[in-house]
A and B are shown apart, each in its own frame.
Chain A
């Protein structure tokens, strides 16, 4: 199992970029919902 995990880790050439992509995704979701909330407050969009 550990060996398998290590093998998979070896295959990932750019783990930093993978982490960055996750950060981007989370930021995107937060901004999207913050934007929705803002729209509701400013414009009264329901």
Chain B
């Protein structure tokens, strides 16, 4: 068995596990590059004074932006974390290396299918691909192949931790980082099973083997895939928070049982929160909607609140042990703000908690949802969760893992230290602009909010132009931060000084 001992962490690192983490992480960053570029085009089009793309290209590139930035970047990174937590963190091996490579190949082939068919202009159906919008069959086939690959990787995670237990890698329970990825993998199986239930018939429908797909049923089952996949992100992001706190500061969870319980709350309740996509659909009863928005959603929110305070508390305890004990916030003042792995983690907690969490709770309430649904405010909310939260956390994770896994030092350290702040602030400005514009009724997704070719004229409150311009400026700042991240991360992987 091919192992090495990491000189920085002391981990016994299995060569295949290391390679799988590397390939998945680098692939994730490449898809982020593509998705981020499409995001730039989106910001430049929705900025009224720029309005860069024509309608056809706008919807085409919006489909690509969603698919690459929301699904490919995040899921490839998570699969990297699957191998990191189920093998490297446990000082053990990947059970069946070829399964890992098959999963990777399937995900890559599926991703390429979807990108090619959308670029070719045969699948301008947006990320949601709501029926009866119909794409070329290759689009659905690509998603199915990608999902099978991801499912295989999540299955591989369970095989690894079972084998690790047999090998005596852990005794009673998994370390918290691995436990978080176990929660992510359980939700992943649920999510991808729903993906199969809905995408396979839609694929047959796209090639005319099935005559009719009910749009209401599609929406219900799609969101068990579309939203639940974001819950995989949440679990992986929170696991990344715990791991960053542990690696950078040596922080231990203040109450490990409570943190584990919070992960279980995600597994039990967070998927039910996907119903907020359907609150304006007439097919569900009021009782159904109220139970979801009044009770279930808040049990999932409770889990996020537990994590969002348990992790800063663990950081505080660790920093107080290092002697920063003066007053209430001496520890915060003396935290390693120049370390991008730490700053990205903290910014992610703030962005996810304050911007994503507060807007999520407000917009997820049934009475507000009726007003907010399908406005640009919703786009602002989910950029707060998946960009301010997950993407920033994974950027921090990249800075953390490059020295351990790629055995390279981070290049341009000052630029790297500055990058999380620029990116997080840019995204925050952008999404605040989105939320403000959405509050005046500006729709999400829409190419032309002046409705220039409509029979009846309509114009939004003039202040929406200011908010959309704020969104554009924030978007440019975020893109600049994203470009720096890509230069620093890929540059470090290729040209960074070797650590051993």
Q: Using CB atoms and an 8 Å cutoff, list the residues of chain A in contact with chain B.
A: 13-17, 19-21, 24, 27-28, 31-32, 35, 38-39, 42-43, 45
A16 near B309 with CB under 8 A, answer: no
Q: Residues of A contacting B353 with CB < 8 Å?
A: 24
* Residue of chain A at shortest CB distance from B316: A14
A39 near B358 with CB under 8 A, answer: no
Q: Using CB atoms and an 8 Å cutoff, list the residues of chain B in contact with chain A.
A: 254, 309, 312-314, 316-317, 320, 328-329, 331-332, 353-354, 358, 362, 368, 371, 439-440
Give the residue of A15, A24, A27, A31 whose beta carbon is less than 8 angstroms from that of B328: A15
Q: Residues of B contacting A27 with CB < 8 Å?
A: 354, 358
A19 near B328 with CB under 8 A, answer: yes
A14 near B439 with CB under 8 A, answer: no
Q: Residues of A contacting B440 with CB < 8 Å?
A: 42
A45 near B371 with CB under 8 A, answer: yes
Q: Residues of A contacting B358 with CB < 8 Å?
A: 27-28, 31-32
Q: A14-B312, A42-B440 are in contact. List 10 more A-B contacts (CB 8 A).
A: A13-B254, A13-B317, A13-B320, A14-B316, A14-B320, A16-B329, A16-B331, A17-B312, A42-B439, A43-B371
A16 near B371 with CB under 8 A, answer: no
Q: How far is the CB of A38 from chain B (nearest CB, A)?
A: 6
Q: Residues of B contacting A43 with CB < 8 Å?
A: 371
Where chain A touches its partner, the secondary structure class is helix
A14 near B371 with CB under 8 A, answer: no
A14 near B354 with CB under 8 A, answer: no
Q: Residues of A contacting B329 with CB < 8 Å?
A: 16, 19
Q: How far is the CB of A24 from chain B (nearest CB, A)?
A: 7
Q: Residues of B contacting A16 with CB < 8 Å?
A: 312, 316, 328-329, 331-332
Give Cα distance in the complex from A32 to B317, angstroms.
Answer: 31
Give the residue of A13, A19, A32, A39 whose beta carbon is less than 8 angstroms from that of B371: A39
Q: Residues of A contacting B368 with CB < 8 Å?
A: 35, 39
Give the residue of A14, A20, A24 whose beta carbon is less than 8 angstroms from that of B317: A14
Lowest 9 A-B CB distances belong to which pairs? Answer: A14-B313, A17-B313, A14-B316, A16-B328, A17-B312, A13-B317, A16-B316, A17-B316, A19-B328
Give Cα distance in the complex from A7 to B426, angstroms.
Answer: 45
Q: How far is the CB of B141 from chain A (nearest CB, A)?
A: 43
* Residue of chain A at shortest CB distance from B331: A16
Q: How far is the CB of A43 from chain B (nearest CB, A)?
A: 6
Q: Residues of A contacting B317 with CB < 8 Å?
A: 13-14
Q: Residues of A contacting B254 with CB < 8 Å?
A: 13-14
Tell me whether A32 and B362 are in contact in the complex, defined as CB-CB below 8 angstroms, given that A14-B316, A14-B317, A16-B328 are known contacts.
yes
Q: Residues of B contacting A42 with CB < 8 Å?
A: 439-440
Q: How far is the CB of B355 from chain A (nearest CB, A)?
A: 10
Q: How far is the CB of B291 from chain A (nearest CB, A)?
A: 21
* Residue of chain A at shortest CB distance from B436: A38
Give Cα distance in the complex from A17 to B318, angstroms.
Answer: 12
Q: How far is the CB of A10 from chain B (nearest CB, A)?
A: 12
Give Cα distance in the complex from A45 to B372, angstroms.
Answer: 12
Give the residue of B312, B314, B362, B439 whose beta carbon is less than 8 angstroms from that of A20: B312
Q: How far is the CB of A42 from chain B (nearest CB, A)?
A: 6
Q: How far is the CB of B393 from chain A (nearest CB, A)?
A: 18
Q: How far is the CB of B344 from chain A (nearest CB, A)?
A: 18
A24 near B362 with CB under 8 A, answer: no
Give Cα distance in the complex from A19 to B145, angstroms.
Answer: 48
Tell me whether A38 and B309 are in contact in the complex, defined as CB-CB below 8 angstroms, given that A13-B254, A27-B354 are known contacts.
no
Give Cα distance in the complex from A38 to B461, angstroms.
Answer: 14
Give Cα distance in the complex from A46 to B314, angstroms.
Answer: 43
* Residue of chain A at shortest CB distance from B367: A45
Q: Residues of A contacting B362 with CB < 8 Å?
A: 31-32, 35
* Residue of chain A at shortest CB distance from B363: A35
B332 near A21 with CB under 8 A, answer: no
Q: List 15 A-B contacts (CB under 8 A).
A: A14-B314, A14-B317, A15-B328, A16-B316, A16-B329, A16-B332, A19-B328, A20-B309, A28-B358, A32-B358, A32-B362, A35-B362, A35-B368, A38-B439, A43-B371
